Amino acid sequence: MKNPWRTGLAALAALFAVGQALAAEAPASVKIAIVAYTQGGKPVFGGIPGRVIEEGWLERELATRGVKLDWIALPHAGAGPQINEGFTNNSIDFAVRGDLPSVIGGAGGVPGKLVVPGGSGNNVYLVVPATSKVQSIEELKGKRLALHRGRPWEFAFSNYLASEGLKLGDFKVANLNPQVGAAAVSAGKVDAAVLLSESYLLEDKGVGRIIWSTKQGDNSWRLISDLWGTDDFIQKHPDITQLLATAWVKAAWWISQDENRDAYYQLSSRAGTPESVLRRDDQDDPVSWKDRWAPKSDAQLNAHYRALTRYALDNKLIRKDFDITQSFATGFTNQAILDLKLENYWPSLNNQVTASH
């Protein structure tokens, strides 16, 4: 007579083995969401994603596993909520997301892990109408200011205000995205606007004038975007997650080399920003070109996100404090640096990689 207990255990063991096999089975595709410019009805990607696509290494590696690589283009306005929704319902697997939206999403229960930290970040600008006589932030106190709330550049600008003894409450803030804010400052509907590199386009058109940028502030004030992945995908497919992390770090390493700088500008200009603007955005930057592309170390990342979480809490962008550092999965970045033999390439990461492995 068969022992029903042993039979049951055997059945459970078989079921567990099947579950493990299914979990390890390669997905049909990897879906990566990126804010992109559309040209001729087709999305065009710049920066690190653009280099990953141009090189083709990631796509080839996935193809050998029977996995398709899908790039999902997101509009500049409203990308954050779309990423949060995609992470919640697993309709996307990875996304490049700004730091403040990541804090707001994480505090709201949106799942996700930070896989590859961004570099030193992008610059933020304060622009006034070309006809304005304003020369300093102090002169704008009590006036109309266009600022898209809850986006990464809010933290950068608020740090600048704090350094001048000011706060957002000292201004009449109009919650406008950069495109609308640029139009508003051009038409003189607001007295100033917090914008990104499109600020140079306003100067070129003779309708705007930059009076401040993060080039004049602390390097930690910049707009930071990181590569995030869903908890579900990372848990089921750590091998594919590692491929993506390696492709990302590899692209950052390639861009960071001076001899590839011109090629980077040409590549990124296809994504809608003129090459002249890209070059001026980097001109007179206090951070060296090579260091700009180094993934943030864990120490830098922890300090940045803790300060950001405190800011979000103090400004009622989130309801309660939480530890976003529990969502960091930077071991994939460390492994990528080892696999690519870049341990000694970026000094800021030397000790971290050595200590972690």
Mark whether 87 and 152 lie in a shared domain.
no
Mark whether 237 and 112 lie in a shared domain.
yes
In which band, very low, low, confident or very high, does the pLDDT at 318 lie, cut at 50, 70 and 90? Answer: very high
Mark whether 253 and 351 lie in a shared domain.
yes
For residue 248, being part of any structural domain is answered with yes
Count of domains forming the chain: 2
Mark whether 132 and 147 lie in a shared domain.
yes
Mark whether 299 and 334 lie in a shared domain.
yes
pLDDT of 12 strictly over 70: no
Render 292-357 in DSSP notation, one character per residue: HTSPPPHHHHHHHHHHHHHHHHHTTSSSS---GGGGB-THHHHHHHHHTT-TTTSGGGHHHHHHH-
Q: pLDDT per residue over 187-206, tens digit each?
A: 999 999 999 999 999 999 99
For residue 4, being part of any structural domain is answered with no
For residue 210, being part of any structural domain is answered with yes
For residue 70, being part of any structural domain is answered with yes
CA 241 to chain centre: 17
Mark whether 350 and 309 lie in a shared domain.
yes
In which band, very low, low, confident or very high, does the pLDDT at 296 lie, cut at 50, 70 and 90? Answer: very high
For residue 8, being part of any structural domain is answered with no
- pLDDT value for 150: 85
Residue with tokens 């100067």: 203
* CA separation for the pair 296, 287 (Å, rounded): 13
Query: Final residue of a domain: which of 204, 221, 238?
Result: 221
pLDDT of 269 strictly over 60: yes
pLDDT of 78 strictly over 80: no
Secondary structure class of 263 (helix, strand, coil): helix
**Residue 184: CATH number of its domain:** 3.40.190.10
Q: What residues make up the domain containing 83? A: 27-121+224-356
Secondary structure class of 244 (helix, strand, coil): helix
Contacts of 314 (CB under 8 A, 6+ apart): none
Mark whether 155 and 71 lie in a shared domain.
no
Q: pLDDT per residue over 114-159, tens digit each?
A: 999 999 888 999 999 999 999 999 999 999 999 999 888 899 999 9
92 to each of 69, 85, 168, how far by Cα in Å?
Answer: 12, 9, 34
316 to each of 2, 269, 312, how far by Cα in Å?
Answer: 64, 37, 6
299 to each of 83, 187, 263, 291, 325, how far by Cα in Å?
Answer: 26, 43, 32, 16, 11
- pLDDT value for 33: 95
Mark whether 177 and 306 lie in a shared domain.
no
Query: Final residue of a domain: which of 200, 221, 242?
Result: 221
- pLDDT value for 355: 52
Query: Final residue of a domain: which of 190, 221, 252?
Result: 221
Average pLDDT of the residues in 240-268: 97
CA 28 to chain centre: 25
For residue 22, being part of any structural domain is answered with no
In which band, very low, low, confident or very high, does the pLDDT at 16 lie, cut at 50, 70 and 90? Answer: very low
Q: pLDDT per residue over 87-98, tens digit each?
A: 999 999 999 999
Query: Position 238: which residue type?
Result: P
- pLDDT value for 255: 97
Mark whether 243 and 342 lie in a shared domain.
yes
Q: What's the predicted TM-score (pTM) here? A: 0.87
Give the number of other CB atoms < 10 A from CB of residue 19: 10
Mark whether 155 and 233 lie in a shared domain.
no
Where would I find the H helices in the chain?
A: 4-24, 47-55, 57-63, 79-89, 99-107, 152-163, 178-186, 199-205, 231-236, 238-255, 261-269, 275-282, 289-292, 298-314, 331-339, 350-356
For residue 162, being part of any structural domain is answered with yes
For residue 320, being part of any structural domain is answered with yes
Mark whether 144 and 189 lie in a shared domain.
yes
In which band, very low, low, confident or very high, does the pLDDT at 8 lie, cut at 50, 70 and 90? Answer: very low
Residue 161 has which token pair?
A: 């205000």
Mark whether 116 and 135 lie in a shared domain.
no
- pLDDT value for 24: 58
